[in-house]
Amino acid sequence: MGFLSNKISRDDVKPGDHIYSWRQAYIYAHHGIYVGDGQVNHFTRGDGQETGTGTFLDNIIVSSSHNHGDNPCPDCGDRSNLGGVISSCLECFLAGGDLYVFEYSVSPAIFLAKPRGGVCTIASSDPPEEVIYRANFLLQNGFGVYNVFKNNCEDFAIYCKTGLLVANTDVGRSGQAASIVAAASVLLSSPLRFVAGFGGLAVAGYGMYCTSRLVSDIGMRWDVSKVPVERLVADVACMSEMEAKPEDEKTT
């Protein structure tokens, strides 16, 4: 693994590692937790399910489970229609892509030197045994409803590694989602209109983008707390029950 790339070989992956592989010509990456014995626990939406954004992303971000067509994997079978937390072999998780490892405890300088989000964080990882316990517990009990901005595969993997949850759920823990929001903020920012010249505009815009990414990182945010996985699952179940009730019963 080098400074500019987090790519590793299959022989170097270790149980408890947060791994990812790029999809759709590097448009986005799919994340998961390697739990050992060639298996990866990951959070996905099933084929044909909406991401819930109501935007063009619903058409770009397809199921992250590999579709083998008429030749299902002898170990995994066909899991392309499954949603939620699932377990796959490493080859099915990679779906023909390369293997990368997500970095933890990086310095702010290293974080900013990697201009694309979703590859590292300033936050520290918990020990591998805790990471694997969370990943397996969520495999059995779920991680809520998939949403590309608020609750996605990277959010799942980061929670398994850190046990941290964000109080404000407008955007989750995902570095990829934070990068999209940061880029949109730069494009829509009115102060940039007053910066003279294209060069000044580019410098100011990149500075805003980097600052937004940094303050949104799970290791920098103030609105995070350590939540035991058992409590997380109980809270998700309680929320699901409340949402299933008729409107008149929710206020009583």
Q: Which of 18, 42, 66, 92 is catalytic?
A: 42
Residue 23 in domain: yes
Out of 108-112, 152-156, 163-167, 207-211, pick the least confident.
Answer: 207-211
239, part of any domain = no
Q: Is residue 249 part of a domain?
A: no
How far is the CA of 12 from the CAs of 19, 94, 137, 153, 187, in angstroms? 11, 15, 25, 22, 40
Direct distance between the N- and C-terminal alpha carbons of the chain, in angstroms, rounded to an integer: 55
Q: What integer pLDDT is reported at residue 182 of this predicted model?
A: 46
Note down the domain range covering 132: 17-233
Question: Distances in Å between the alpha carbon of 114 and those of 1, 58, 117, 225?
Answer: 14, 27, 7, 26
Residue 241 in any domain: the answer is: no
Structural domains in the chain (count): 1
Residue 111 lies in a domain: yes
pLDDT at 222 over 80: yes
| 18: annotated active-site residue | no
| 153 annotated active-site | yes
Is 9 part of any domain? Answer: no
Active-site residue flag, 30: yes
Question: What's the whole-model pTM score?
Answer: 0.80
**Is 216 part of a structural domain of the chain?**
yes
Which band of pLDDT confidence, cut at 50, 70 and 90, is reported for residue 207? low
- Domain annotation covers residue 1: no
Single out the catalytic residue among 76, 92, 120, 153. Answer: 153
In sequence order, the 6+-apart residues with CB closer than 8 A to the CB of 154 are: 20, 29, 31, 118, 173, 174, 175, 176, 177
247 pLDDT higher than 90 = no
